[in-house]
Amino acid sequence: MSTPTSARPSRRSLQRSLHRPLGLTAALALPLAALVACGDGATEGASPAARPAPSGAPSSSSSPSGATAAPAAPTEVATDTPRLVVTYEGGDIGVFDATTLEPVADLELPGYNRVNAAGDGRHVLVSTTGGFQVLDAGTWEEPHGDHGHYYTSDPVLTDVVHEAVKPAHVVTHAGRTALFDDGTGASVVVDSASIADPDAQARVVEAPAAHHGVAVEMADGRLVTTEGTEDERSTIVLRDAGGAEIARTDDCPGMHGEATAADEVAVVGCEDGIVIVRGEELLKVAAPDAYGRIGNQAGSDTSPVVLGDYKRDADAEVPEPTQTVSLTDTATGELQLVDLPSSYTFRSLGRGEDGEALVLGTDGSLHVVDEETGELERSIPVVAAWTEPEDWQEPRPALRVHEGTAYVTEPATREVHAVDVETGEVFATAALEQVPDEVVVATGTAAEGAPEGEHAHEGEHEDHEHEDEAAEESTR
């Protein structure tokens, strides 16, 4: 499985209080396959039950030794216990303690799997054949008055699958989780706290045609969605909480990716700049080049500035290596380009605890950039130098950040590293038996506004089955 070395809690982890501020958790679950693209509009209502995995599927939970194991009863713990979820090349998923990188479980799921946080601190959504399958990372918080109670249990792939023809982007914000189906163009938004509930209420927005798109709901109910076709996409639509259209723009060719920033602002990337969603306005910020693609972004609730990639070659058969990133100030509409010591890829962007821009370079270093000035503050050596693979689905070093710790995968050595962003110390490394691909964190904490718990072991799953099928890829 894996062998952690030099493991110790980070300094910031040790400084956390046992009773952290309570957060908001919400509710989800809607099969997307039923949302055949036909017209344009928003509806709300109870979603039909999510599809269970077929009976007879292989066991979805196993102990670190690889033996099949039934889910253990939850154990109350003193504080939050974040867990790292890592996909492997060719299939299967590993779960680790995010502080020590000790292995927790191996989950069997053949195929090309992609993972996204579900927004409730406990679950992870796995984009696989037929939809978004809910993975219970086995760590959560139950708010109780002025404090929270924390629990852990065995991770498990649940039998809840939110159907989608081509499961693609998952966006969580302000206690809401938006699922986008590239196969229909439909968006489904639900309360994050009910991600494993097949009967949750959902907000549904259908699209005129299938396309590779995205959706995000803001805290006040404003909803950003996209429209396009399989061949062309350039439209962004903003709706109010009731579903009425507020604004739209067709001036975002090749639109891709999103992020949220301070003061409830969102952005969507284009091939010639970026669109800022601020209040009831859609503001286009043009790139300094005729073709200046900002297709992947990383935002922070503590900063109005959004970090983005930046590519100038419209004719490249594969994404060309670039040493330039973009910093867009969503408050002023200013776009700044910053040159780095090395190139990077779409899995290289992250944000620090204080809003700093983080970029994992092909030189093996984590580059820390002041998001306001664009100044390169320092470069932290983490992994060996590497080259971007030609196929976007091939594993390459990936970055994920949680509360001052940067998690970096290293496919070439089959390792994952934990880095204290402030001190630059690589304080834990796990050696893996398989090649790592994508990585995500289940925080173990409830989001703001979560319903109070009963000190019971809610959310246990009785039948933990999953599909024994090859996973459906989604286009980057």
| Radius of gyration of the CA atoms of the chain, in A | 21
What's the predicted TM-score (pTM) here? 0.83
Which position has the higher pLDDT, 5 or 415?
415
Task: Answer yes or no: is pLDDT of 391 > 90.
Answer: no
pLDDT digits (tens, 9 = 90+) for 135-180: 999 999 998 878 889 999 999 999 999 999 999 999 999 999 999 9
pLDDT digits (tens, 9 = 90+) for 308-340: 999 998 887 656 678 999 999 999 999 999 999
For residues 88 and 58, what is the distance between their CA atoms, to the nearest angstrom?
A: 18
Name residue, tokens 């020590």.
100
Q: How would you classify the pairing of strands 281-286 and 292-293?
A: unpaired
For residues 404 and 298, what is the distance between their CA atoms, to the nearest angstrom?
A: 15
Tokens of 58: 């292989």
Task: Answer yes or no: is pLDDT of 45 > 70.
Answer: no
Q: What is the mean pLDDT of the chain?
A: 83
Between the two ends of the chain, the Cα-to-Cα distance in Å is 29
Of 297, 227, 296, 293, whose CA–CA distance to 260 is shortest? 297
For residues 90 and 316, what is the distance between their CA atoms, to the nearest angstrom?
A: 27
CB distance 169 to 181 below 8 Å: no
82: confidence class by pLDDT, cuts 50, 70, 90: very high
CB distance 231 to 222 below 8 Å: no
Query: Reading across the β-sheet that carries 2-5, which strands appear in turn?
Result: 2-5, 426-432, 415-420, 405-410, 399-402
Report the share of the chain in percent with pLDDT over 70: 78
pLDDT digits (tens, 9 = 90+) for 448-470: 656 666 544 444 444 433 333 33
For residues 237 and 78, what is the distance between their CA atoms, to the nearest angstrom?
A: 45
pLDDT digits (tens, 9 = 90+) for 229-285: 999 999 999 999 999 999 999 999 999 999 999 999 999 999 999 999 999 999 999
Tokens of 293: 């693609």
Give residue 322's pLDDT: 86
6: confidence class by pLDDT, cuts 50, 70, 90: very low
For residues 253 and 132, what is the distance between their CA atoms, to the nearest angstrom?
A: 27
Give residue 147's pLDDT: 85
Backbone angles phi, psi at 11, to 5 degrees: -60, -40
Name residue, tokens 């109350």.
76
Which position has the higher pLDDT, 222 or 6?
222
Give residue 453's pLDDT: 61
Residues 6+ apart with CB under 8 A from 174: 24, 217, 218, 219, 264, 448
Question: What is the four-CA torsion angle of 55, 152, 459, 467, rounded to 10 degrees?
Answer: -20
Give residue 454's pLDDT: 52
